Amino acid sequence: MAKNKDGKLSKKAFISVVAMFSLFWGAYQETKDESAHLQVSDGVSEVSSSERIKNSDSIVDKNLTSLSEQQQQQQQQQQQQQQQQQQQQQQQQQQQQQQQMLYLHLSVDLCSRCCGCVLTQQEVKTNKLEVCNRPTPFQ
């Protein structure tokens, strides 16, 4: 500590010692009040600080479990959305394939006796087929 030539504490040192003492004294009084079980007017005793800490820990644990449940729900929703998107993409691909086959079916000169396959009249004549065995584009 800073002392004067006379051996006394300087004003700054004295003020800082008093300030520190008052801080510690206030903290001591606060913990003393918290640890004492005071009776409330309705007869219920006040909860001690250690019990409050335990209770707050359990609240935090509950919040963590609820967060993990929320995260699980979010993951499930994301998975469902991804599955729906995949199904939509598959449906779109199937529709595109059907449209392409229909376009091919209409653009090729099909035989008149054909069941809807993609054989041309030329192929039917060269293979001497009365009715082709190829599947239709929509099967």
Q: pLDDT tens for residues 47-89?
A: 566 666 666 666 666 666 666 788 888 889 999 999 999 999 9
Domain assignment present for 8: no
- Answer yes or no: are the C-beta atoms of 37 and 45 closer than 8 Å: yes
90 pLDDT higher than 80: yes
Give yes or no: residues 71 and 83 share one domain: yes
CA distance 119 to 132: 8
Identify the H or E element spanning 83: helix 49-107
Q: pLDDT tens for residues 103-114?
A: 665 555 554 445
Tell me the C-alpha to C-alpha distance, in Å, between residue 23 and each of 16, 20, 27, 112, 139: 11, 5, 6, 104, 87
Domain assignment present for 48: no
Domain assignment present for 28: no
Mean local confidence (pLDDT), 25-40: 71
Domain assignment present for 46: no
Domain carrying residue 97: 55-107
Give yes or no: residues 95 and 137 share one domain: no
Domain assignment present for 12: no
The closest alpha carbon to 31, from 6, 52, 16, belongs to: 52
Percent above pLDDT 70 for the chain: 42
CA distance 44 to 59: 22
Give yes or no: residues 61 and 88 share one domain: yes
Structural domains of the chain, count: 2
9 class by beta-carbon count within 10 Å (0-12 exposed, 13-18 middle, 19+ buried): middle
Q: What is the mean pLDDT of the chain?
A: 70
Domain assignment present for 49: no
Q: Give me the residue label for tokens 């707050």.
A: 56
Domain assignment present for 63: yes
